[in-house]
Amino acid sequence: PFRSLVLTDNVELFEFVQALVVEKGIADVTFGCSRQGPLAARPDIDVVDVRTGCDALIARYRLIVSLHSKQRFPSALVRAVRCVNIHPGHNPDTRGWFPQVFAILRGLKLGMTVHRMDEALDHGDILYREEVPVLFSDTSYTAYRRVIDAEKRYLRHNLHALIHADGESQPMSEEGNMHSKSDFDRLCEIDLDQRGSFRDFYDRLRALSFMGYRNAYVRDPDSGKKVYLSLVVEPE
């Protein structure tokens, strides 16, 4: 009777795992997303609210996997059910928001981490971790693609085991770094009078360059309006 729930707000990973579950014949997996996310309107996934639905989730599931879910799990849920987070950063170096942005900017480790969830964000015993390189010519976009590829590879080879076995885990060695959405938002405003090396400027801009998003900006001194910037990086 025990089912597993995969909670996600990432369209690409949802479709990938949905197909994988069929292909590998993995039984008793349900998918859920948050009400505000891009998947909410789809007929093939349920909207699940981990706060209001906490008791029902505890009664129903033996395992809940957070695969880029934007919901913050309540303490009661992580204490009662085995909850595992698949995080697109290398814990504890790059916990939190948009890990590759901070990996590029601060020279931190990037990768993916699969960990038991506890009360703190992107925190808990590590079940699997893989580092991916950050290249001098990476933008946020190219580094992110490398992380997604690693996550898909991991899921392809380990989803069945993740769902059906408890697996060994290791405690986090230290608390590391935690980045928030407001850290990211602050980075996006570029002060035209800030002094630094061209290297700093290069790293800041490529860390904020992601195809399809307008992140970094300066203020037009005349109109006060934002002028968005993004860097095109083309290695030889």
Provide the annotated active-site residues.
87
Q: Which is nearer to ligand 0FX, 21 or 146 (CB)?
A: 146
Q: Pick the piece of the chain touching ligand 0FX (CB under 6 A) from 39-47, 65-73, 156-164, 167-175.
A: 65-73
How many whole angstroms separate alpha carbon 95 and alpha carbon 173? Answer: 13
Of 121, 108, 114, nearest to 150 by C-alpha is 114
Q: Which is nearer to ligand 0FX, 27 or 40 (CB)?
A: 40
How many whole angstroms separate alpha carbon 62 and alpha carbon 5? Answer: 8
Q: Pick the piece of the chain touching ligand 0FX (CB under 6 A) from 14-22, 64-72, 193-201, 217-225.
A: 64-72
How many whole angstroms separate alpha carbon 6 and alpha carbon 13? Answer: 11
- 128 φ/ψ angles, rounded to the nearest 5 degrees: -155, 145
Q: Pick the piece of the chain touching ligand 0FX (CB under 6 A) from 74-82, 102-110, 130-138, 210-218.
A: 210-218
Min. distance of Cβ 25 from ligand 0FX in angstroms?
27
The only residue of 7, 68, 102, 105 in contact with ligand 0FX, by rule CB under 6 A:
68
Min. distance of Cβ 101 from ligand 0FX in angstroms?
7
Quick check: 157 binds ligand 0FX (CB under 6 A)? no
- 114 φ/ψ angles, rounded to the nearest 5 degrees: -110, 120
Min. distance of Cβ 77 from ligand 0FX in angstroms?
16
Residue position matching structure tokens 């009661």: 76
Identity at 108, one-letter amino acid code: L
Residue position matching structure tokens 């891009």: 38
111: which 2 tokens? 């990768």
The only residue of 213, 220, 227, 228 in contact with ligand 0FX, by rule CB under 6 A:
213
Of 17, 56, 51, nearest to 34 by C-alpha is 51
Min. distance of Cβ 219 from ligand 0FX in angstroms?
19
Quick check: 61 binds ligand 0FX (CB under 6 A)? no
Min. distance of Cβ 151 from ligand 0FX in angstroms?
9
Identity at 98, one-letter amino acid code: F
How many whole angstroms separate alpha carbon 51 and alpha carbon 62? Answer: 17
98: which 2 tokens? 């948009």
Binding site for ligand 0FX (CB under 6 A): 10, 68-70, 87-88, 96-98, 140, 144, 210, 213, 215
